[in-house]
Amino acid sequence: MLIQSRFPLKALQQVSSKRFNSSSLNPTIKNQLSNPPPIGSIIEARGFVKSIRSSKKVGFVDITDGSISNNLNIVLQGPDQPKFKVGQSIVVKGDWTVGKGKQPFELKYNPENPQHAITILGDVTDDYPLQKKATSMSFLRNFPEIKHRTSTLGSFLRLRSHLEFKLMEFFQSRDFIKVTPPLITSSDCEGAGEVFKIEPLNPKEPFFGKNAYLTVSTQLHLECLALALNRAWTLTPCFRAENSNTTRHLSEFWMLEAEISHVDNMDQVTTFTEDMIKFVTRSLVESSHSTELSDLGAGNGNDYLNGTYIEKDVVQSRWSNILSAERWPRMTYTEAIEYLNKTLPQDEQLIWGDSLQLKHERLLAEKSPIFITDYPESQKPFYMLKSANYNAENPTVTCFDLLVPEFGELAGGSMREHDYQVLLANMKQENMNIEDMEWYLNLRKQGTIPHGGFGLGFERLISYLAGYDNVRDISAFPRAPELCNC
Amino acid sequence: MLIQSRFPLKALQQVSSKRFNSSSLNPTIKNQLSNPPPIGSIIEARGFVKSIRSSKKVGFVDITDGSISNNLNIVLQGPDQPKFKVGQSIVVKGDWTVGKGKQPFELKYNPENPQHAITILGDVTDDYPLQKKATSMSFLRNFPEIKHRTSTLGSFLRLRSHLEFKLMEFFQSRDFIKVTPPLITSSDCEGAGEVFKIEPLNPKEPFFGKNAYLTVSTQLHLECLALALNRAWTLTPCFRAENSNTTRHLSEFWMLEAEISHVDNMDQVTTFTEDMIKFVTRSLVESSHSTELSDLGAGNGNDYLNGTYIEKDVVQSRWSNILSAERWPRMTYTEAIEYLNKTLPQDEQLIWGDSLQLKHERLLAEKSPIFITDYPESQKPFYMLKSANYNAENPTVTCFDLLVPEFGELAGGSMREHDYQVLLANMKQENMNIEDMEWYLNLRKQGTIPHGGFGLGFERLISYLAGYDNVRDISAFPRAPELCNC
Exposure string over B100-136, b if 16+ CB within 10 A, otherwise e: eeeeebbbbbeeeeeebebebbbbbeeebbbebeebe
**pLDDT of A45:** 98
Cβ atoms of B170 and B125 closer than 8 Å: no
Q: Which residue from B409, B405, B412 is spatially nearest to B467, judged by alpha carbons?
A: B405
**pLDDT of A95:** 97
Residue B228 to residue A157, Cβ atoms within 8 A: yes
Exposure string over A144-160, b if 16+ CB within 10 A, otherwise e: bbbbbbbbbbbbbbbbb
Q: Which helix (H) or strand (E) holds A242?
A: none
Cβ atoms of B63 and B72 closer than 8 Å: yes
Q: Which residue from B232, B227, B217 is spatially nearest to B381, judged by alpha carbons?
A: B217
Q: What is the DSSP string of A272-330?
A: HHHHHHHHHHHHHHTSTHHHHHHHTBTT-TTSTT-SSSB-HHHHHHHHHHHHH-SS--E
**pLDDT of A390:** 95
3-class SS string, B188-207: CCCCCCCCEEEEECCCCCCC
Question: Residue B298 in 3-state DSSP?
Answer: coil
Q: Does domain B34-133 have CATH number 2.40.50.140?
A: yes
Number of H helices, E strands in chain B: 14, 17
User: CA–CA separation, A349 vs A155, rounded Å?
Assistant: 42
Give the closest-approach CA distance of A189 to chain B in angstroms.
Answer: 11
Residues of A in contact with B466 (CB under 8 A): none
Give the closest-approach CA distance of B186 to chain A in angstroms.
Answer: 6
Inter-CA distances, B373 with B220, B273, B368, B404, B412, Å: 21, 14, 16, 14, 10
- Say yes or no: A172 contacts chain B, CB-CB below 8 A: yes
CA angle B165, B169, B173 (to 5 degrees): 170
Residue B186 to residue A486, Cβ atoms within 8 A: yes
Strands B370-373 and B330-332: parallel
- Say yes or no: B34 contacts chain A, CB-CB below 8 A: yes
Q: What is the pTM of this model?
A: 0.93
The answer for A 394-423 residues in CB contact with B (under 8 A) is: 418
Residues of A in contact with B241 (CB under 8 A): 200-201, 207
Chain B interface test: which of A190, A229, A255, A284 (most B C-beta within 10 Å): A229
Residues 6+ positions from A235 with CB-CB distance below 8 Å: A164, A167, A178, A254, A255, A256, A458
- Say yes or no: B297 contacts chain A, CB-CB below 8 A: no
**pLDDT of A306:** 42
Cβ atoms of B125 and A420 closer than 8 Å: no
- Give the DSSP letter of residue B483: B
pLDDT (tens digit, 0 to 9) for every residue of chain B, 486 residues total? 233 344 444 444 444 434 333 468 999 999 999 999 999 999 999 999 999 998 888 999 999 999 998 899 999 998 788 899 999 999 999 999 999 877 899 999 999 999 999 999 999 999 999 987 777 888 899 999 999 999 889 999 999 999 999 999 999 999 999 999 999 988 765 555 677 888 887 766 778 888 888 999 999 999 999 999 999 999 999 999 888 888 989 999 999 999 999 999 999 999 999 999 999 999 999 988 877 877 665 444 434 444 355 677 888 899 999 999 999 999 999 999 999 999 999 999 999 999 999 999 999 999 999 999 999 999 999 999 999 999 999 999 999 999 999 999 999 999 999 999 999 999 999 999 899 899 999 999 999 999 999 999 999 999 999 998 899 999 999 999 888 888
Inter-CA distances, A439 with A18, A186, A227, A435, Å: 49, 12, 13, 8
Indicate the residue of B1, B11, B21 with minimum beta-carbon distance to A288. Answer: B1
User: CA–CA separation, B392 vs A213, rounded Å?
Assistant: 46
**pLDDT of A64:** 95
> Which residues of chain A fall below pLDDT 50?
1-22, 298-307
Give the closest-approach CA distance of A62 to chain B in angstroms.
Answer: 15
- Give the DSSP letter of residue B378: G
Give the closest-approach CA distance of B307 to chain A in angstroms.
Answer: 16
Residue pairs spanning A and B at CB distance below 8 A: 471
ipTM attached to this prediction = 0.92
At how many degrees (to 10) do helices B312-324 and A10-17 cross?
A: 30
Q: Which residue from B73, B79, B72 is spatially nearest to B55, judged by alpha carbons?
A: B79
Chain A interface test: which of B130, B147, B196, B287 (most A C-beta within 10 Å): B196
- In sign, the C-alpha dihedral spanning B396, B402, B405, B410 is negative
**What's the CATH class of domain A149-474?**
alpha beta
The ranges assigned to domains in chain A are 34-133, 149-474
Indicate the residue of A70, A207, A440 with minimum beta-carbon distance to B481. Answer: A207
Residue A291 to residue B182, Cβ atoms within 8 A: no
